Amino acid sequence: MKSAGKHKMALAACTLTCLALAAMASGHGTAEARQVDTAAFSAADRGDRANRSYDRQDRQAAVDEANKVLAPELAKAKEEEARRAAEATAAEEAKKQAARLAEEASKALPTPVAGLNQAQMINAKKIVDAGKALGLPKRAFVIAIATSMQECNLRNLASTRLPESFNYPNEGSGSDHDSVGLFQQRPSTGWGTIAQIMDPTYAASAFYKRLITVPGWDTMALTYAAQRVQVSAFPTAYAKHEINAQAVADALVP
């Protein structure tokens, strides 16, 4: 009886030991499996991150390559856009400037006096302005205006004898030899080219430059001073314009 009890107790102890060893074996295997699984995941994650990095690099390389191809076109487009913007700005500024000049010109138009129309008054102002530029006194302006009144009624005339004269701004035409312009000066007698004489400022300046070479021009009778410059066939014809010429000069130079 005692022997049978000891045998049973030994069998139970053996069984427990086997179960314990099995449990230990089972536990050890799970840890190793967990270690293997963790290492595999880490390797896979590193691979995935590497692939993503390569993908980003490939995409960036593709973008860089595309930019290289498109860069000249983009630069050209930007340059064209900038050019158009500059042109638009310049056009707008030119438009504003033209409007300002037109407004100033409108304000600067002299009021006609002494029976003159606007075009004649503008020509008289050009004559006066040319004299001012030369530093001359008002008496010179009066003589010049009276001379132009007699020669062409203060109109800038072309000549039917000189077809070229019609290429320049004019207010009609005459046919007295080759006389043209506000003072009916003749290219053939040394007053200048047709183009020059058809310019009112040049014509007036040329008149003044000869006038001031006449001794006593500023104190002699107007008609004689004018005649010394013009050498007209009607030396006394200028006298009748003196009153109106004075009125015009006074209006332009108060």
Band of pLDDT at residue 5, cut at 50, 70 and 90: very low
**Rounded CA gap, 201 and 208, in Å?**
11
Residue 145: count other Cβ atoms within 10 Å of its Cβ: 31
- DSSP run (H or E) holding 159: strand 158-159
In a domain, 162, yes or no: yes
Mark which of 108, 140, 169 sits at the end of a domain.
Answer: 108
**Rounded CA gap, 6 and 194, in Å?**
153
Q: Are 223 and 239 in contact (CB under 8 A)?
A: yes
Shared domain check, 143 and 103: no
From the centroid of its chain, how far is CA 52?
54
Residues with Cβ within 8 Å of 168's Cβ and at least 6 positions away in sequence, in order, are 158, 194, 195, 198, 199
Return mean pLDDT, the chain: 83
Residue 124: which of 14, 244, 238, 3 has the closest Cα? 244
User: Which tens digit of pLDDT belongs to each residue from 128-181?
Assistant: 999 999 999 999 999 999 999 999 999 999 999 999 999 999 999 998 899 999
- How many structural domains are present in the chain? 2
Shared domain check, 186 and 209: yes
Shared domain check, 183 and 91: no
Helix (H, G, I), strand (E, B) or coil at 181: strand
CA–CA distances in Å: residue 119 to residues 69, 125, 156, 207, 242: 64, 10, 10, 20, 20
Shared domain check, 94 and 199: no
In a domain, 176, yes or no: yes
Q: Indicate the pTM of the whole model.
A: 0.60
User: Which tens digit of pLDDT belongs to each residue from 33-73?
Assistant: 445 455 555 655 666 665 666 677 777 887 777 777 788 88
Shared domain check, 104 and 158: no
